[in-house]
Amino acid sequence: MNTETIPASEVIVEGRIVAIRGGVVDVAFDGVVPHIHDLLFAGDIALEVSSLIGSGMVRAMAMAPVRGLGLGMRVSATGGPIMVPVGEAVLGRMLNVFGEPIDGRPAPDTPQRRAIHQDPPKLSDRVLHSEILETGIKAIDLLSPIERGGKTGLFGGAGVGKTVLITELINNTVQHHNGVSLFCGIGERSREAEELYREMGEAGVRDKTVMLFGQMNEAPGVRFLVGQTALTMAEYFRDDRGQDVLLLIDNIFRFVQAGSEVSGLMGRMPSRVGYQPTLATELAGLEERITSTKRGAITSIQAVYVPADDFTDPAAAHIFSHLSASVVLSRKRASEGLYPAVDPLSSTSVMLTPSVVGQRHYDIARAVRRTLAEYEELRDIIAMLGLEELSSADRATVSRARRLERFLTQPFVTTESFSTAKGKMVPVAQTLDGCETILNQTEFDLPESAYYMIGSLQDLEAAS
């Protein structure tokens, strides 16, 4: 960060470096000791105070590589936390954790700045919205509908399509979203950031979107705090402007991972499976700020990497507890070429109740789940004895289930460049009609393959 952005009058006290451990720096002050979360500068390297360790000493996270720092080096305290620009000026921009541009354009021209650390809204200010955010993705809209003003997690291991799915959600929801969209990339690859910036421009939605990145090659302190920066900007649009905000985070597991790195460097004893002992409170501090108030709503969609496909991992388990909808991506379905690889039996949503989605939607979703669960139980028998050994009722169930599996696949707009299929966005009503038609049939004229990678059933009829 450029120290010129901090007015000289804000520098209240100076200290000196007494220890450097990786990305953690100990600083001794003779006079007034800075507070936790205060911003310090050693040369042009920014540090954030993480803990007070007595005798006028503080332990701080470095927000950049510590090359060039040395023992005894002078450190300046600014007297306050990291402040980032908020307001209309950040729309259409790609920024870092300090709110500085990384898109090659001038800094956002706004006098409004806010501290990145804020308290969650009071319980009395919060409201619940029993509304669905339609995505146009059949498997999600049918089985785990997204709550407007809620938090949705896309869970999956490496290579099952989390980033592709979140990019498709950006394409489908941002274009039809009347509020402001904010994308926060935590610990993702710079190639993905560049592609996303270009795609948002081509789709014509970049001017309503803010993009913040803390990349994998940056210091753990940056990856740990970039989510707080994103929320500070989102809260301005929600609270001051009264707008709805769509917040997309890729990947929330990298926030937990960065916290674990920082915790280890701070010298804290690790907890279960090597995670930091403060995992629950750090995650809650971020997630509880993502909420709806009387003034506006923040709808969050978060990609969650699941280490080694282990959903009992403490990071995945803690993230689950904060969500209103969980979309689980299955490696087994991905290996069968069923994309999006949404696991229909593991994906859930608190919105899937008759009072919210309606009795018909609820009944169809349950019938689809029941049919696919019965097919799952019959798989072993089919593998050992063959399909011919099943009763006629079971054979009809298998036929319906296999067609439902293929019907819930869908070509994406974001994959058009490397596939021959044109992307489809399917309204919920057509998804329900298609599933209901398949569930009510016992004999099928067309093979299973005809249902694969289509939009609504009208596409099937047109193809036939």
Q: Which tens digits make up the pLDDT trace of 292-320?
A: 898 988 999 999 999 988 999 999 999 99
Encoded tokens for 118: 């804020």
Q: What is the pTM of this model?
A: 0.89
Cα(224)–Cα(259) distance, rounded to whole angstroms?
A: 6
Exposure string of 19-57, with b = 16+ CB inside 10 Å and e = fewer, is ebeebbbbbbbeeebbeebbbbbbeebbbbbbeeeeeeb
Tens digits of residue pLDDT in 34-61: 999 999 999 999 999 999 998 899 999 9
Residue 308 burial (CB < 10 Å; 0-12/13-18/19+)?
exposed
Share of the chain above pLDDT 70, in %: 97
pLDDT (tens digit, 9 = 90+) per residue, 55-96? 899 999 999 999 889 999 999 999 899 999 999 999 999 999
Which residues participate in catalysis according to the annotation?
162, 188-189
Q: How far apart (Å, rounded) are the C-alpha atoms in residues 41 and 107?
A: 20
What percent of the chain is predicted at pLDDT more than 90? 64
Mean pLDDT computed over every residue of the chain: 90
Mean pLDDT for the stretch of residues 189-198: 81
- Contact (Cβ atoms closer than 8 angstroms) between residue 154 and residue 165: yes
Q: How far is CA 268 from CA 51, 59, 295, 309, 380, in A?
A: 11, 12, 40, 27, 48
Q: Which two tokens stand for residue 98?
A: 């300090």
